[in-house]
Structure 1
Amino acid sequence: MKFKKVALSLAFSASAAMTTAGAWAADTIKVGVLHSLSGTMAISETTLKDTVLMMVDEQNKKGGLLGKKLEAVVVDPASNWPLFAEKTRELLTKNKVDVIFGCWTSVSRKSVLPVIEELNGLLFYPVQYEGEESSKNVFYTGAAPNQQAIPAVDYLMKQGVKRWVLAGTDYVYPRTTNKILEAYLKAKGVGPADIMVNYTPFGHSDWQSIVADIKKFGSTGKKTAVVSTINGDANVPFYKELGNQGITAKNIPVVAFSVGEEELSGIDTKPLVGHLAAWNYFQSVSTPENKAFIKQWQAFTKNPKRVTNDPMEATYIGFKMWTQAVEKAKTTEVDKVGAAMIGQKVKNLTGGTAVMGKNHHLSKPVLIGEIQANGQFEVVSESKVIEGDAWSDFLPGSKDIIADWTAPINCGNYNTVTKKCSGQKY
């Protein structure tokens, strides 16, 4: 389906229940939705577009915000990274949106970043990422490496893993995350010969030789695991090829950072049982909040089989915090909303409370889940709540850097040694 820049999504019939834009007052609060609805990332991002529409619909049923209706403005950057920047500029200058919820890959966020800073927009980014960034115009509601990648490696080490395959899609998130993980593994005494790194392009489909290399690497007698930062629809043939070559969770477990319930819904998961994913949320977690969220989601999509996933929870938390910050600031003005965001609290869906930190990152628990035959995850490990770290402690150029968007620092990359800010400031 072709998507246009319209007030409401026409993606599925549930959105038809929303009040038409023409019936609304001219003065609405516009919510930009910047997710790929076509191309290699549509498998993951379309669900997040639907999540934002559900949250907009829910807020409007409550009477809107500041006495105004919310109006969703949906665009399709089509998994085209430069197009993300172009669509962001359109949302801010032509559509005059008050906030944007969007992006999945770090390359799309990096494309958007200079535009949203130039035009002083506001972006909520809901997906795990590599860190090494903090912008006054962005709130990062997905996991930083210390809330996903590092705990996942720690878990596997406790299971006796000695050899490591770092397999990722060839762009900034996997490369930076693996750079952090390599440094961390070496600090833990892992030798270079026990680390294998491999990158493939977006949409990669021929995994036969790569999986064969992984199998060979894991045949030395040392317990081996794959740490996967493979993104998008390339995961489908990757997991299929693992099964084809007899790689199971018992001989070479895979822990994924970008595979959740949505991605597994299109795969025969029986050969994948026991492989792992590290997230901050799983649909299988039984809490009153999560049960209500799943019920709301399936009712909104009119599909009782529609699954939920971690970036959906991050979108949910970010949206709730944004509405609370707008109400606190009594305006949608970006600088005032940004200041009001610090310290915002929202109950997460797995128990406990998410808090927005001074570095624009959330506090989150870390969950390790095993893939089940039904495409869900059984939680096998859960951490305490961990504050998101914008700058890695394991990279020489980052360990002395902090982000703090409150006075007197007001900086996203403040060097605690030189006492200087080397980037964007308030």
Structure 2
Amino acid sequence: MGRNSSSENAWRVGVLFSQTGVTAVIEKSQLNGALLAIEEINEGGGVHGREIEPVIYDPGSVVARYGELAEHLLTEDDVNVIFGCYMSSSRKEVLPVIERRNALFFYPTLYEGFEYSANVIYGGAAPNQNSVPLASYLMENFGSRFYFVGSDYIYPRESNRVMRNVVRQGGGEVVGERYVTLEAGPHDFDKILEDVRAQAPDVIFSTVVGTGTINLYRAYLRTGGDGKRVPIASLTTNEAEVAEMGPEAAAGHITAAPYFRNIQSEANRRFLERYQRRFGTLDDVTSCCEAAYFQAHMFANALRATGSMDTDRLRSALQGADFDAPQGRVKIDPDNNHTYLQSRIGRVDDLGEYVVEMEVGRAIKPDPYLVTPALNDWSIRLMPPREGLITL
């Protein structure tokens, strides 16, 4: 799908999330989050009396297509700002296109860190905001023996490298590490899970993404795995995938994220009410969806301040900007274009809902290069959630 309207007066932005393919389960939620924010902005009168017009394309979860469509947006659709991508491999396809043409790219997804671009606003968690708190929680509550299972591309391998170093800092060990293709089916995990049983880890750390996540958790249950005894812990598994795999397969498993949909805040209540009204469900509301939502609003605020789509002016307005997001107050760090985010640990209950068990008491400054990792002195302390949860 291309341009949504023919308005010549609109502020046009590119929206590049997959609606088909293996990562569609997550990217559809990101698309919805971005579109909901844009609709709210337009209903409020737009920006300086002009609506924001999304120009939407579906890359079909094909990595090369993200770069091709980004090029098309910038050259054929007269777009200078793009929201998009879930996988790091797709971000890497878009990045040189964005930089070459000095456009602005909003990336609303957690990632492996160790990257900076002046043309990217990073809205998802960096490793110090999710990997470090998760490792701390797991080692204190389950044990020090980890088994890694991941999809075979950039993010899982790099995320596992980071987690391996963090675990070793805390005195733990990685007893196994295996990878599957992005198209991994229900039985592609059977031999891996045999090895898991043989190695007897205290926890499984999963960087499997897309439909493979659902297949892994179901296979774990089918082969006798018990999430309440030896959980699968992840940075990527979320509410949309839990809804698809079912509560029996999800119960007991753990995710670290800045946002879970049932956290208590007035901003989150408003967000969920509008999302339910617009899309008819809350099943696919995820941390990545919430990030796409607040990034679109932060872009609109910067556009109000500048009255211009010029990349340099927008970037200047965005650096240091904050926003009352559904997760809590967030801020774009002028040092690195990443975002100060909340940090929470959620565990799935028997009804298939995440229960926030622990959270860091403040938004964490992003440290994408782990210059000052906190695990070595355990200075980031987790605490029980400060407030109750929204009942869905």
Q: Same fold (TM over 0.5)?
A: yes
Confirm or deny that 1:195 pairs with 2:175: yes
8 Å contact kept, 1:163–1:224: yes
8 Å contact kept, 1:180–1:394: no
Q: Distance in 1 between matches of 2:281 and 2:180?
A: 35
8 Å contact kept, 2:228–2:251: no
- Residue 332 of structure 2 is matched in structure 1 by 356
8 Å contact kept, 1:207–1:241: yes
Percent sequence identity is: 30
Alignment of 1:199-238 (within 5 A): 199-205=179-185, 206-218=188-200, 224-238=202-216
Q: Distance in 2 between matches of 1:85 and 1:356?
A: 25
8 Å contact kept, 1:275–1:370: yes
Secondary structure, counterpart of 2:143 in structure 1: coil
Q: CA deviation at 1:228?
A: 1.0
- Residue 280 of structure 1 is matched in structure 2 by 258
Over residues 266-304 of structure 1, what are the superposed CA-to-partner deviations in whole Å (9 max), with x where a residue is unaligned?
112124311111111001112211111011001111x14
Give the counterpart letter for 1:278 in structure 2: A
Secondary structure, counterpart of 1:266 in structure 2: helix
Alignment of 1:84-233 (within 5 A): 84-191=66-173, 194-205=174-185, 206-218=188-200, 224-233=202-211
Q: CA deviation at 1:394?
A: 7.9
Q: Distance in 2 between matches of 1:337 and 1:129?
A: 23
8 Å contact kept, 1:6–1:74: yes
Q: Distance in 2 between matches of 1:350 and 1:189?
A: 32
Secondary structure, counterpart of 1:57 in structure 2: helix
Q: Distance in 1 between matches of 2:333 and 2:367?
A: 10
- Residue 42 of structure 1 is matched in structure 2 by 24
Q: CA deviation at 1:196?
A: 1.5
Q: CA deviation at 1:215?
A: 1.7
Relative to 1, partners in 2 of residues 1:271 and 1:232: Cα closer, same or farther, differing over 3 Å? Answer: closer
Over residues 185-209 of structure 1, what are the superposed CA-to-partner deviations in whole Å (9 max), with x where a residue is unaligned?
2222234xx4311111102112111
Give the counterpart letter for 2:67 in structure 1: A
8 Å contact kept, 1:248–1:272: no
Unaligned stretches of 5+ residues in structure 2: 374-392
Relative to 1, partners in 2 of residues 1:128 and 1:168: Cα closer, same or farther, differing over 3 Å? Answer: same
Which protein shows a greater Rg?
A: 1
Q: Distance in 2 between matches of 1:251 and 1:295?
A: 35
Over residues 362-382 of structure 1, what are the superposed CA-to-partner deviations in whole Å (9 max), with x where a residue is unaligned?
111211001123322000010
Q: Distance in 2 between matches of 1:49 and 1:39?
A: 14
Unaligned stretches of 5+ residues in structure 1: 8-20, 396-426
8 Å contact kept, 1:183–1:394: no
Confirm or deny that 1:292 pairs with 2:274: no
Normalized against structure 2, the TM-score is what?
0.91
- Of 325, 329, 332, the residue aligned with 2:309 is 332
Higher relative contact order (CA 8 A, sep 6+): 2
- Residue 369 of structure 1 is matched in structure 2 by 346
Normalized against structure 1, the TM-score is what?
0.84
- Of 9, 32, 36, the residue aligned with 1:54 is 36
Q: Distance in 2 between matches of 1:248 and 1:152?
A: 19
- Of 247, 271, 276, the residue aligned with 1:269 is 247
Secondary structure, counterpart of 1:386 in structure 2: coil
8 Å contact kept, 1:276–1:368: yes
8 Å contact kept, 2:19–2:58: yes
Cα RMSD (Å) of the superposition?
1.5
- Residue 415 of structure 1 is matched in structure 2 by none
